[in-house]
Amino acid sequence: MTMLDNVGLVLEGGGMRGMFSAGVFEAFMQGDIEFPYATAVSAGACNVVSYLSRQPMRTRKIITDYVADPRYCSVRNLLRDGSLFNFDFILKEIPQKLLPFDYEAFRQSSCNLYVGATDCNTGEVIWFPKETMGDDFEPLRASSSLPFLAPVVHFQGYELMDGGLADPIPVEKAMADGHERNVIVLTRNPGYYSTENYPIWLLKLWYAKYPKLIEIIRTRSENYNRQMALAEQLEKDGKAVVIRPLEPLTIGRLDRKPQELLKLHDHGIECGLALLENIRRLAQK
């Protein structure tokens, strides 16, 4: 693999739309490139691990074999365990039994991965390095715990939720860590800006003990749009390569239609391959 020195990898979340990012990672493997550093939240973090373990098409097989399984995602899970996604199934049973994950290759990867989760008490992002993952991937569970659809995750003394709430496109984290040039993988098309909004009464009812979390959720769209504008400006300035779907997605955050997700995954491969030379040029600047 060719290491792209001093180029960071920045990964947005997006729930099931993250299958686009998984396809982009396949393009990276086909192009024989790796990054010394990555910062990721939510689905971006969950899907990048198979790239770091160098297991081609692993996520595609998860789509074909398990995404439609009610153990993966279902209202039954929500009613039974308080989480729409069954993270024990996704982060334990699949990688440890059904579709073995190469933990050793992941740990030996040269990429310094940082996974972000939102601290419910402070509203700030807590960054967990690759070394904290463990076999059960608790930071991934925390980073992917969506509001109203998953419980607060307790890990290392923190109360945590979806990393995409406080830092949806974590390019500023990469820049603060010294990576002025970045490849930014988004799960939304050009021209998209967030208008997501939750009723304040619902937030106060559901998360009454977490006023900082409420404020972060209320201002998430504003923060997302600011970070999107920053990513696009960095691209114009020649400091970033942005990889994103070319057209508006019909797939929602919670969609589980295997054939549609496979198309999105393959679109990610296509978009990633198309920009490999741009990425190599970015590394040479």
DSSP labels, 12-36: ---GGGGHHHHHHHHHHHHTTEE-S
Read off the pLDDT band of 5 (50, 70, 90).
Answer: confident
pLDDT mean across residues, the chain: 96
Of 118, 272, 258, nearest to 187 (Cα)?
272
Q: Is the pLDDT assigned to residue 83 strictly greater than 90?
A: yes
Reduced to 3 states, what is the DSSP secondary structure of residue 283? Answer: helix
Q: Torsions phi, psi of 35, nearest 5?
A: -115, 145
| DSSP secondary structure string for all residues of 237-275 | TTSEEEE--SS-----TT---HHHHHHHHHHHHHHHHHT
Of 188, 163, 167, nearest to 176 (Cα)?
167
Q: Is the pLDDT assigned to residue 42 strictly greater than 80?
A: yes
- Specify whether the CB–CB gap between 55 and 62 falls below 8 A: no
100-142 pLDDT tens trace: 999 999 999 999 999 999 999 999 999 999 999 999 999 999 9
202-250 pLDDT tens trace: 999 999 999 999 999 999 999 999 999 999 999 999 999 999 999 998 8
- Model-wide pTM > 0.85: yes
Reduced to 3 states, what is the DSSP secondary structure of residue 37? Answer: strand
Neighbours of 133 (CB within 10 A): 20
